[in-house]
Structures are given as structure tokens and as C-alpha cells.
Amino acid sequence: MEVQIFGVKKNADTRKALRFFAERRVRTHFVDLNERPASPGELKRFVERFGIDRLVDRESRRFDELGLRHARLSDERWVERLADEPLLLVMPLVRSGNLLTVGLAEQDWTAWMGK
């Protein structure tokens, strides 16, 4: 099994995800969104599965700094915005093949390993 983790090093949930997989000796590929943003195509995969509302961290400082509290954007525009501003994402985004999770999802990850 191999997983891809999208997040930033300063995010506590991203660090927990990295530790979770490391403790179980699962091979991980970490994508630091501060260094290399997720592609819109990759983000669309998560949006199709979970919806845009699940991906946008409306409690983040960056969300307030950008004044998005009352923004009404289309899903397409949100994907562009999330690609440009990764700190707006709920982190981590974890992918293993076609399996996807948003945020800290240890129960789901444990189930993946059982397959």
C-alpha cells in the first residue's frame, strides 16, 4: 500500500497523518502544498467525492484574511481558489488509488489497510 498526503508541515492534522502511516510502515508520498500546490485536476477528484463545502476550511485564519465569509463562488472558481490558496483547504487530503479522505480520518485509513 502507498498513500499520497497533501498538506502543509505546520498543520497538526497533516503531521498526525504522516505519523499514523509511518508507525504502520506504509509508504507515503508527502506533497507540501506550500511548495507545490495541488493541481486543479487533483482537487476536482476530491470535490467530486466530497463536495466543495467539505474541502474549504471556513474556520481558517486565511479564509477570514481573504474576506471569503460572504463569498458566493461556483465550484469551478472554488477549485481555482483552493489551488492558489492551499491554506483554505481542510487538511490533510489523503489518497490511495481511488480511496480518498479529507481531514483526519484514522478509521478510514485503518479500513484501507484491512483491504
Q: What is the pLDDT of residue 57?
A: 94
Q: What is the pLDDT of residue 115?
A: 65
pTM attached to this predicted model = 0.91
- Dist. CA 34–CA 83, nearest whole Å: 11
pLDDT digits (tens, 9 = 90+) for 13-26: 999 999 999 999 99
CA geometry: angle 103, 43, 39, nearest 5 deg: 125
Q: Where are the domains of the chain?
A: 2-114
pLDDT digits (tens, 9 = 90+) for 33-81: 999 988 889 999 999 999 999 999 999 999 999 999 888 888 899 999 9
Q: What is the pLDDT of residue 114?
A: 82
User: How many other CB atoms are there within 10 angstroms of residue 84's CB atom?
Assistant: 10
- What DSSP character marks residue 36? S
Question: How is domain 2-114 classified at the CATH fold level?
Answer: Glutaredoxin (3.40.30)
